[in-house]
Amino acid sequence: MNRPILEVRRLSKAFGGLKVNHEVSFSIREGELSSIIGPNGAGKTTLFNLITGKLVPDAGEVLFRGERIDGLPPAEIARKGIGRAFQITSIFKERTALENVLVAVLSRMRRTGRMFRRATSYPDAVRESMEILEMFSLADQANAMASALPHGDQKRLDIAVALSLHPELVLLDEPMAGMSPEERAGTVELIRRIWKEKALTLLFIEHDMDVVFSISEWIRVLNQGVLLAEGTPEEISRNREVITAYLGEEIE
Amino acid sequence: MTGGTEGKPRTLGETAQWAAGLLLFAAIPFAGRAYYITMANEILVMGLFAMSFNLLYGVTGMLSFGQAAYYGVGAYTVGLLLSRGVVPFAVALPAAFLLGGILAVVLGPLCIRLTGVYFTMLTLAFAEMVWGVVFKWYDFTGGDNGIQGIPVPDALRDPVRYYYFTLAVVFACFWILRKVVESPFGATLKSIRENEERVGFIGVKVRRYQLAVMVLSGAFSGLAGALFAGYQHSIHPDMLHWTKSGEVILMSILGGVSSFFGPLVGAAIILYIEDMIGKYTEFWEICIGTIMLAIVIFFPRGVIGTFETWTERLRGVRKGSDEPAHS
């Protein structure tokens, strides 16, 4: 068994009196493709926000490769190798698809402070950006404004931006939300392919149980801010507690 | 085909724009009236000031309502240094550029603590403080008397020569600003405008870039103020007043904040209207207000911005056939 890439220890966060995350502990093995499921308001996105530095935990620790990262600003956590795509698509709308990816690639190359050459005159950065767009089937739209892309393409661009930083761990927050069934199938394939090719560790939040149970190696269930259970898809689908709390009658 | 935009050369149209602008300004003194030169000089100076402001607003999305502080500090740097004979003009001008930047190093970190309208309010508040100091500190700044009789070197005493000097400096600044806007740094600024939060998640320390662009904008605003002081030979605390900060906002919006030369065009339009209507009525502000209203309603992207949209649309119609079908 691989060593953990991310460890979350008794992580807690409350908004007012509401315990959105309460003493959540788990660890993610390197190279794992796993998911987090749970009803709306279970604290899934908050957990992502705590891991990626958007929020500072009230208590507990987050360790990335054995190093404390809780409380660090998002920019530093991103630099350490944790990438993130967003539930509500978070891209640079009035910039082209290429520019969206290019700025992230330039950031990884630590060139965002350069002032005297055109951003598009860094051939290696542009080439890599085009390769990333290619991987997401967005190369044909490279010069289209991000805001003009269809919703599914915008979602994929969001993931493309996250991958431009060469992260080791990628958190995807409902990567398929709002997509048509065909787009979903394509995106599932895409995620699986990238996970394999790039040897990534992937953690995603998703409501589509078919997707979750078909591609996850490991599933974690969050309910009312508490980690209810974790295990393989088979274990989770047989877990009484999970069935009553969340899955209901859907899974036999 | 990949890498379509790789190393895209400056387009012919863009080179033509620069050449046309430069030629137009260079030809003004040949029109033979001193008044035209004064007018064109003011357009260049305010154009540079408005474009430094737009580096913050149009490019990075930070609406500063306090850029007059930097403009004024630049003017007073030149005014004080030259009227007391401390240093020659060739040193005073870069000093104004530096001091504009240094003021931003001091005020910037205090302003970027907040975002949106709160950032705007802070820029206004600090600019009012700087104005207050200049206005009240009689012994040093001359208070509301300002500074008169600022000497410039003999070589630049002739207004036509000074005009060409301004033209050269301002266009050199435009060239540098253009470089900055198109660089990776500029791309990062535009990304901050579009989505500040996401820029953090791609590993960029947003505050650092916001401060850097405030310093750049402050320095170029200071230089604009210095050029004005050298031309006018007299300066006044009004140069730091909040209405001056408002002027560059109006100019930029009028011309178009999303196009590079928009603020310069806006400056030309407003100064021209001010002058034309000012001859007939002292209520020219009402006319400016009416025109602004019409612009915002009918040309929401500014004069140049709307023009660009039209030409893009025309081009789009022409090549409409090779666009992929909707999926």
Can you tell me the ipTM of this complex? 0.92
Q: Which residue has the tokens 């080439």?
A: A127
Measure CB to CB from residue B183 to each of A114, A142, A143 and give the nearest one: A114
**β-strands A82-85, A33-37 pairing:** unpaired
Minimum Cα–Cα distance from B193: chain A residue: A92
Sheet holding A82-85, edge to edge: A82-85, A169-173, A201-205, A33-37, A218-223, A226-231
**Which residue of A lies nearest to B190 if distances are taken between CA atoms?**
A95
| Yes or no, beta carbons of B183 and A115 under 8 Å apart | yes
Which of B61, B41, B59, B66 shows the shortest CA–CA distance to B248? B66
Closest chain A C-alpha to B183 CA, distance in angstroms: 4
Confidence of residue A248 (pLDDT cuts 50, 70, 90): low
Contact B327 A150 (CB under 8 A): yes
What does the block give as tokens for A156? 């994929």
- pLDDT, tens digit, 9 for 90 and up, residues B58-76: 999 999 999 999 999 999 9
User: A84-116: per-residue pLDDT in tens?
Assistant: 999 999 999 999 999 999 999 999 999 999 998
Structure tokens at A26: 């788990």
B194 touches chain A (CB under 8 A): yes
Pairing of strands A201-205, A169-173: parallel
Per-residue pLDDT tens over the stretch A13-24: 999 989 999 999
Average pLDDT value for chain A: 93
Q: Which of B126, B119, B121 is nearest to B207 (CA)?
A: B119
Distances (CA, A) of A165 to A71, A110, B112: 21, 11, 26
Strands A201-205 and A33-37: parallel
Q: How far is A247 from chain B (nearest CA, A)?
A: 33
Inter-chain CB proximity B202 and A164 less than 8 Å:
yes
Residue B323: its pLDDT value, please?
Answer: 40
Question: What are the residue ranges of helices labelled H in B138-205?
Answer: 138-141, 159-182, 184-194, 196-201
By Cβ distance, the residue of A78, A102, A150 closest to B203 is: A78
Residue B319 pLDDT more than 50? no
Using CB atoms, which residue from A103, A115, A139 is nearest to B191?
A103
Tell me if residue A106 falls in helix, strand or coil: helix
Strands of the sheet with A59-64, listed across from one edge: A18-29, A4-15, A59-64, A67-68
Min distance A179 CA to chain B CA atoms (Å):
14
- At B324 the pLDDT is 40
- How many residues would you count in chain A? 252
Sign of the torsion formed by the C-alpha atoms of B132, B138, B143 and B148: negative
CB spacing of A140 vs B324 below 8 angstroms: yes
Q: Do A80 and A166 touch, CB atoms closer than 8 A?
A: no
Q: Which residue of B has its CA nearest to A138?
A: B2
Judged by DSSP in three states, B169 sits in helix
Tokens 């198109």 correspond to: B182
Distances (CA, A) of B13 to A53, A143, B221, B258, B311: 45, 19, 28, 18, 12
pLDDT band (50, 70, 90) for residue B322: very low
Q: Does residue B17 register a pLDDT over 80?
A: yes
Closest Cα to residue B226, out of B326, B81, B102? B81
Residue B299 reports pLDDT greater than 90: no
pLDDT per residue over B143-189, tens digit each?
888 899 888 888 888 999 999 999 999 999 999 999 999 999 999 99
Contacts of B327 in chain A (CB under 8 A): 150
Q: What percent of chain B has pLDDT over 70?
A: 93
Residue length of chain B: 327
Residue A169 to residue B321: CA distance in whole angstroms: 43
**Which residues on chain A are in Cβ contact (under 8 Å) with B199?**
103
Over the stretch B76-107, which tens digit does the pLDDT of each residue have? Answer: 999 999 999 889 999 999 999 999 999 999 99
Q: How confident is the model at residue A251 (pLDDT cuts 50, 70, 90)?
A: very low
Contact between B244 and B68 (Cβ < 8 Å):
yes
> Contact at 8 Å (CB) between A161 and B198?
yes
pLDDT score of B9 more than 60: no
Residue numbers in B near A114 (CB within 8 A): 183-185
Q: Measured between alpha carbons, how far is A137 from B51 in angstroms, rounded to an integer?
A: 38
Using an 8 Å Cβ cutoff, are A107 and B204 in contact? yes
- A174 pLDDT exceeds 90? yes
Q: Per residue in B215-253, pLDDT tens?
A: 999 999 999 999 999 999 999 999 999 999 999 999 999
Q: Span B293-300, mean pLDDT?
A: 80
Q: Which residues does chain A have within 8 Å of residue B191's beta carbon, measured at their own beta carbons?
A: 92, 95, 99, 103
Residue A140 has pLDDT above 50, yes or no: yes
pLDDT at B5 exceeding the cut of 60: no
Distance (Å) from the alpha carbon of B187 to chain A's nearest alpha carbon: 7
Partner A contacted by B32 (CB < 8 A): no
Note the pLDDT of residue A252.
42
Distance CA A200, CA A227 (A): 24
Q: Which two tokens stand for residue A134?
A: 């290619």
Nearest-CA residue of chain B relative to A153?
B327
What pTM was estimated for this model as a whole? 0.90
Asked if B5 lies within 8 A of A142 by C-beta distance, the reply is: yes
